[in-house]
């Protein structure tokens, strides 16, 4: 029976992409915290990959959320999630990405909330939603896992308790590249403890071959923009990096990243065309 979530471009060009994201978010009101959020299903499909503000949230529980066994479904009541938690962030993300809007939450346990469903992905009775913070497993419930500004939050659905948890892949690539010209990307694998190692032998979108022993691969992009991801048979699919083949000022508005707000009056000041802002009730 699963436990309630008790386990959630290299060089200047990549630095440029980072500059488009977190400095702008520093102006969000203190009750909202901006952090990266990624949700991946067992088939390697990415259900969400965005920068999401979080804060206090109210979440409806679901009587059908009984993946922990008979009689463990939710009461159907709405529950309050205080602070800036991983569960609050996930609930807020539904406003920016409809793929994760539907949650299956149970309040059947005295020690915290359990999660059975994120979007279309439902935990079987043999599995659970695995939660990582900054590449390391979280050992507290998602409603008790604090999210801080700039954190990287990952949810992955493990279908069988008996299977080892796959390593998480992390992709680094430039934000801008020359069309048709090869460039280098780097993939790192993080284990359950957050220890890093080069991810050798994994596939990268647009690469001419799998990554080498140092986790590097050569990629060519011909289209105006293309989103790259790294994937492997026994690994959690990486974050996406969208590469633009034009000068940064000419790249499509919002191509690099989506920033999701909350139902409260957040203040999100981005000022860069590479970001798409789903402001919620904010501005």
Quote the DSSP letter at residue 224.
S
Give, for 13, the enclosing helix (H) or strand (E): helix 11-19
Which pLDDT score, from 0 to 100, does residue 269 have?
63
Which pLDDT score, from 0 to 100, does residue 120 have?
97
Which pLDDT score, from 0 to 100, does residue 262 have?
81
Which SS3 state, helix, strand or coil, does residue 15 take? helix
The neighbour count for residue 41, using CB atoms within 10 Å, is 18
174-213 as b/e: b if 16+ CB within 10 A: bbbbeeeeebebbbbbbbbeeeeebbbebbbbbbeeebee
Which pLDDT score, from 0 to 100, does residue 18 have?
31
* Tens digits of residue pLDDT in 171-215: 999 999 999 999 999 999 999 999 999 999 999 999 999 999 999
Which pLDDT score, from 0 to 100, does residue 261 have?
75
Domains of the chain with bracketed CATH? 11-278 (2.170.130.30)
Which pLDDT score, from 0 to 100, does residue 265 have?
66
Work out the angle at residue 80's Cα, subtended by the Cα atoms of residues 77 and 82, and round it to the nearest 5 degrees.
165
Give, for 25, the enclosing helix (H) or strand (E): helix 22-25
Which pLDDT score, from 0 to 100, does residue 162 have?
95
Which pLDDT score, from 0 to 100, does residue 283 have?
52
Which pLDDT score, from 0 to 100, does residue 9 have?
35
Both structure tokens of 217: 């691969």
Which pLDDT score, from 0 to 100, does residue 95 have?
87
Mean pLDDT by groups of 10 residues along the chain of 283 residues: 36 32 40 90 97 92 97 96 95 92 96 96 97 97 95 98 96 95 98 98 98 99 96 96 91 83 70 66 53
Which pLDDT score, from 0 to 100, does residue 31 have?
66
pTM here is 0.85
């Amino acid at each position: 029976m699963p436990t309630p979530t008790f386990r959630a471009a290299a060089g200047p060009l990549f630095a440029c992409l980072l500059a488009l994201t977190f400095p702008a978010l520093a102006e969000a009101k203190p009750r909202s915290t901006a952090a990266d959020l990624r949700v991946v299903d067992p088939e390697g499909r990415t259900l969400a990959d965005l920068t999401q503000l979080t804060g206090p949230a109210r979440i409806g529980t679901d009587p059908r959320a009984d993946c922990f066994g008979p009689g463990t479904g939710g009461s159907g009541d709405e529950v309050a999630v205080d602070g800036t938690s991983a569960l609050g962030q996930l609930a807020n993300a539904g406003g920016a990405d409809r793929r994760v809007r539907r949650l299956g939450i149970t309040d059947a346990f005295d020690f915290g909330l359990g999660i059975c469903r994120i979007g279309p992905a439902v935990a079987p009775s043999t599995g659970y939603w695995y939660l990582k913070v900054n590449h390391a497993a979280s050992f507290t419930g998602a409603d008790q896992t604090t999210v801080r500004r700039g954190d990287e939050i990952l949810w992955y659905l493990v279908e069988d308790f008996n299977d080892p948890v796959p390593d998480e892949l992390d992709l680094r690539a430039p934000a801008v590249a020359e069309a048709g010209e090869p460039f280098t990307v780097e993939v790192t694998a993080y284990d359950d403890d957050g220890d890093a190692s080069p991810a050798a032998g994994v596939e990268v979108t647009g690469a001419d071959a799998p990554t080498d022993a140092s986790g590097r691969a050569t990629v060519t992009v011909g289209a105006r923009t293309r989103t790259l991801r790294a994937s492997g048979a026994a690994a959690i699919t990486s974050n996406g990096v969208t590469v633009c083949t034009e000068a940064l000022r000419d790249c499509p508005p919002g191509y690099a990243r989506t920033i999701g707000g909350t139902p409260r009056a957040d203040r999100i000041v981005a000022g860069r065309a590479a970001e798409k802002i789903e402001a919620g009730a904010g501005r």
